[in-house]
């Protein structure tokens, strides 16, 4: 079982964990370890595949991050802290707090 810890999945990590990936006609098909189809999605304009994964045990997707700076960094796809700080100063994202650089 692959536990998802963030919102970006690596194809390499899926392959290393025994999943099969097929890409044909701008569509990605993700097959489980036993060959059962998990998801079939078309490519998006930003050259990414959007997977809508619903789990029976949503706690696997919960984060244990308490620091808001790290939480926003994870939410935004691991953007660097300088960019986070700039977005906060320019009030580009609703709810984004002032960024405190982590050690």
Output the tens digit of pLDDT for each of the chain's 103 residues: 555 555 567 788 888 888 899 989 988 898 888 888 888 888 877 777 776 665 544 444 454 556 778 788 878 888 888 888 888 899 888 888 888 777 6
pLDDT score at 22 = 92
Domain residue limits, the chain: 11-55, 63-103
pLDDT score at 36 = 87
- Nearest alpha carbon to residue 69 among 93, 101, 95: 101
Q: What is the pTM of this model?
A: 0.44
For residue 95, give the DSSP letter. T
H helical segments located in the chain: 11-16, 68-75, 81-89
pLDDT score at 53 = 60
Contact in structure between 51 and 34 (CB atoms under 8 Å): no
Name the one residue in this structure whose structure tokens are 């045990």: 57
């Amino acid at each position: 079982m692959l536990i998802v810890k963030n919102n970006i999945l690596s194809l390499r990590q899926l392959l290393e964990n025994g999943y099969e990936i097929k890409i044909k006609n701008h569509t990605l098909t993700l097959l489980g370890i036993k060959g059962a189809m998990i998801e079939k999605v078309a490519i998006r304009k930003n050259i990414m595949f959007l997977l809508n994964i619903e789990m029976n045990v949503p706690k696997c997707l919960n984060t244990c991050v308490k620091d808001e700076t790290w939480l926003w960094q994870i939410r935004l796809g691991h953007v660097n802290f300088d960019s986070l700080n700039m977005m906060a100063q320019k009030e580009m994202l609703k709810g984004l707090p002032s960024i405190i650089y982590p050690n």
